[in-house]
Amino acid sequence: MSDPALIPPIPPRLPATVRCRRCGRPLHDPESRILRLGRECRRPDEPVRVLPGPQDPLPGLDP
Where exactly are the structural domains of the chain?
15-43
Q: In this predicted structure, what is the pLDDT of residue 26?
A: 94
Q: In this predicted structure, what is the pLDDT of residue 51?
A: 66
Round to whole Å and give the CA distance between 19 and 27. 6
Q: Residue 49 to residues 17, 34, 35: CA-CA distances in angstroms?
A: 22, 12, 9
Q: In this predicted structure, what is the pLDDT of residue 12?
A: 67
* 0.75 exceeded by pTM: no
Residue 63 has pLDDT above 80, yes or no: no
Query: 4-58: per-residue pLDDT in tens?
Result: 667 766 666 656 788 998 999 999 888 888 888 888 888 877 776 666 777 777 7
